[in-house]
Amino acid sequence: SHPYRIAAMKKTYLLFLPILFFSCMESSEKVEMERLLGAWMHEFSNENETIESTISFKADGTYIIENRRVQSAEGFNPGLIDAFKGKYNLEAGKLTFSDRIFFFAEDFVNPPATIEALQQRENVKYPKESANVSFEENNQVMVLLYDCPGPEPEEDEMLVACLGLGPLPYTRVKNF
């Protein structure tokens, strides 16, 4: 009777192993998603201007990317020069941006202060964009490494140039 009990215990263990594994995976994905929530900022600078790029990830699976000029050597005023809105998904360390809508400042020299004052680019479908994501400095820095080239665009989507920027560190500026 003793060997039978051991065999029965092994079968029971093997039955619960996939459930245990799946629930651990699910909770680790949830932890990754919670780490992502909030607003993150990366500053780009060249000899002409400084741009603050802020990505805000919300719990409902949507994001906003705002690119704000904070300084210009060419006499351009500070303000919001463009933005993207859309949906995001995080799976196994891969962040995917989809359903992207682009907004732009009509007056590049005097851009507005808010996204509501930007113009939406109509009748243009943008392809998905993906990046590997990692966190550093006790989850206060998010590093994005964009896939270059990204996912293949659908037939009706605009072809977007790949910049190949390398790892981009974003500092957490707000928790949601």
Taking the C-alpha atoms of residue 125 and residue 142, their distance in angstroms, rounded to an integer, is 27
Q: Is this prediction's pTM over 0.75?
A: yes
Average pLDDT over the chain, rounded to whole? 84
pLDDT 10s digits, 75-89: 999 999 999 999 999
Distances in Å between the alpha carbon of 102 and those of 13, 32, 60, 163?
Answer: 51, 27, 20, 17
